[in-house]
Amino acid sequence: MAFTLRVADIATRVICEEPAVSLPVSGASRRFLVPDGPADATLRVEGRGALADPSGEKLFDSGLVWRLYRDAGDFVFSFTSAALTPVPYKLARFDASFTSGTLSFNRLCLPDARVLEPLEFPLPELMMINLLARGRGVEIHGCGVIDRDNSAYLFAGQSGAGKSTIARLWHDEGATILSDDRVVLRLRDGRVWIYGTPWHGEEEFASPAAAPLSRLFFLDHGPQNRLHPMRGVQAAARLFVCSFPPFYDEAGLNFTLELLAGIIDRVPCVGLEFVPDTDVISFVPIGV
């Protein structure tokens, strides 16, 4: 069984060569499935017996469900669950480019060994973050909107800043919501493009659409709708806080920092304090 998922114009081919195994794709990820064709990355899925953490250097520990190791030149994500077993219930091993990987499941931990879920959170997002950091782009914590005039806006902010509220208000006005929580920015022919992702927030908006980015807004709640320009170091710092760089990878981190600076240079950045009602919809384009 196999399928191809395309996010931010990056196609990942997911393959399992065991004929009796199914690879379910659920939720918003279904909207990002595309016909088979050339792939930028390949992930092979397999069922195995008991798994163990690699013996290599531990690079990062999320403190929750996953850890990252560097082992024999590869990157290895180890996933555990207190509800299952203290040892890994799956391992994802990638080459240094993150274009080829193997996802191994511990069948002893699964309720049905014939069902392997390759897109279970957070692995697909971790894979994308690392692929992007190898010269491709950056994932941003933000709401992406394409209005009815095909102008694209990014409303960036951390949890609680109002991304889901903005998404709902714009959606009610007929806009396309790329995501209410995670978007991807990439450079194409000198322009910054914004892409939707399957990794949505509480409003569950997720679209595979994309468009050149017109404006970048940094969200804050306020007593009234108000805009203030943000440039240079101030804008770069706000965008970095909302980005997902691989802190454990020096080369990837350096690329991300350079890309964020390039984005700030190319896209007008504005701080937006807003009141959560429909007035902000007409206020944003007029006030820029």
Q: Is the pLDDT assigned to residue 202 strictly greater than 90?
A: no
d(CA 271, CA 158): 14
Predicted confidence band at 84 (pLDDT cuts at 50, 70, 90)?
low
Largest CA distance in the chain: 60
Count CA within 13 A, CB hemisphere, residue 238. Answer: 23
**Encoding tokens for residue 147?**
């209005």
d(CA 81, CA 111): 14
Give the pLDDT confidence of 143-165 residue by residue, as tens digits: 999 998 889 999 998 888 789 99
Average pLDDT over residues 10-17: 96
Q: What is the DSSP letter of 137?
A: -
Angstrom CA distances, 211 to 111, 144, 150, 155, 195, stand at 42, 10, 8, 15, 7
Find, among 139, 218, 219, the residue nearest to 183 by Cα.
139
Predicted confidence band at 220 (pLDDT cuts at 50, 70, 90)?
confident
Average pLDDT over residues 26-54: 94
**Residue at token pair 């006030």:** 287
Q: Is the pLDDT assigned to residue 288 strictly greater than 60?
A: no
Q: Is the pLDDT assigned to residue 286 strictly greater than 70?
A: no
Find, among 105, 129, 56, 116, the residue nearest to 67 by Cα.
56
Q: Is the pLDDT assigned to residue 60 strictly greater than 90?
A: yes
Is the separation of the CB atoms in 239 and 263 below 8 Å? yes
Pick from 54-63, 100-109, 272-281: least confident = 272-281
- The mean of the pLDDT values for the chain is 92
